[in-house]
Amino acid sequence: MRKQSNIYTDLAMEAASDCGEIEGVTITTEDNAETQLTVTTVNITGEAAEKRLRKPIGTYITLESQLLMENAPSAHEAIIKQFSQKLGELHKLGRDDVVLVVGLGNWNVTPDALGPRVISRVLVTRHLTTTDAVAQEIESSVRAVCAATPGVMGLTGIETGEIVRGIVDRVRPHLVIAIDALAARSIHRINSTIQMSNTGLNPGAGMGNKRMALNEQTLGVPVISIGIPTVVDAATLINDTLDVILDDMVSQSDDGGEFYDMLRSLAEQEKYTLIRQVLTPYAGNMFVTPKEVDAVIGRLAGIVANALNIALHPGITQDDINRYF
């Protein structure tokens, strides 16, 4: 008897596609040919759907484009524009609201450094808005934004959620935006997908770590999460590769077709469980990321930070971003 291993994904759209039609889940898709961008919105409204998908009730917006991984400035500008618009749809901010942006992750490990790298490019202004003379000059252009990079427990010895909750208790923001690297089920979505949601997040969940959730229940204020899948576990990589190999074998072989069809007929979950068990003594804890991750993470951090700067500050435009950031 094989113990069932669930194929984990941080992406709601992947979880929803795995489960087929479910009551309490609605999915809408928009395509943009110019930027090769697909925007998928998943709304989870029922408790049964929440349990089935293992995602909290709320709205999940996913942006997908292979151009996110490439050095394509014009496409990135268009993506940033749509990204900032969708971000504004998740939570309506008041003019005087204070926003705390939190960059989660380990800045010493590139695939996990997305959050800290975004924070280094976010326009922070809370310290300016508390100075009367300066505030009068900029009050129509910027909103009070502060930022933090709490690190990870391995570096600080403190639960990330405890650090964030302490900052929230002191600063009392109206909204928290948490940025983190995610894990995907498909290798095709690594570094080419951005997910945002109004449900908060669980730091380290994709790596199998159980940490305090960052959401409205734990922090007392609304939480928007932004994440990009930067890693995939070894079992998922082999599972996807095996599908490609089997399809190729079936198309080229006259003999043994029944055997290949039998392998292909295995349920996705069953196949993943088998691969995971075979790998466990050797690479069961391994996660994989592309070799060009250093350059890609830098570009992705810039895209996320620029979208945040435009969405949070009413006087900041794409032209300002290009000129100063």
The per-residue DSSP string of 274-307 comes to HHHHHHHHHHTT-EE--TTHHHHHHHHHHHHHHH
Residue 236 near residue 272, CB atoms below 8 Å? yes
Domain extent listing, the chain: 12-236+284-324, 237-283
Low-confidence ranges of the chain (pLDDT < 70): 1-8, 20, 130-140, 204-210, 246-272, 274, 276-285, 324-325
The token duo for 135 is 């505030």
Report the CATH fold assignment for 12-236+284-324: Rossmann fold (3.40.50)
The token duo for 92 is 């309506």
From 140, 156, 150, select the one nearest 100 (Cα to Cα).
Answer: 150
| pLDDT at 2 (0 to 100) | 39
Distance of CA 121 to the CA centre of its chain: 18
Q: How far apart are CA 225 and CA 177, in angstroms?
A: 6
From 234, 243, 227, 241, select the one nearest 208 (Cα to Cα).
Answer: 234
Residue reference for tokens 């113990």? 3
Beta strands in the chain (DSSP E): 25-32, 37-44, 58-64, 98-104, 144-151, 175-183, 193-197, 223-233, 287-288
Q: b or e along 145-158 (b: 16 or more beta carbons within 10 Å of the residue's beta carbon)?
A: bbbbbbbbbeeeee
- Quickly count: other Cβ atoms within 10 Å of residue 171's Cβ: 16
| pLDDT at 192 (0 to 100) | 94
Q: How far apart are CA 100 and CA 112, in angstroms?
A: 20
In sequence order, the 6+-apart residues with CB closer than 8 A to the CB of 116 are 103, 105, 106, 107, 149
From 8, 3, 2, select the one nearest 235 (Cα to Cα).
Answer: 8
Q: How far apart are CA 279 and CA 233, in angstroms?
A: 11
Q: How far apart are CA 16 and CA 27, in angstroms?
A: 8
Angle at 245 between CA 239 and CA 249, to 5 degrees: 145
Q: How far apart are CA 226 and CA 61, in angstroms?
A: 10
First to last CA, the chain: 56
| pLDDT at 212 (0 to 100) | 84
Q: How far apart are CA 49 and CA 249, in angstroms?
A: 37
pLDDT tens column, 55-67: 999 999 999 999 9
| pLDDT at 38 (0 to 100) | 94
Alpha-carbon distances of 171 from 81, 147, 168, 217, 248, rounded to whole Å: 29, 11, 5, 17, 57
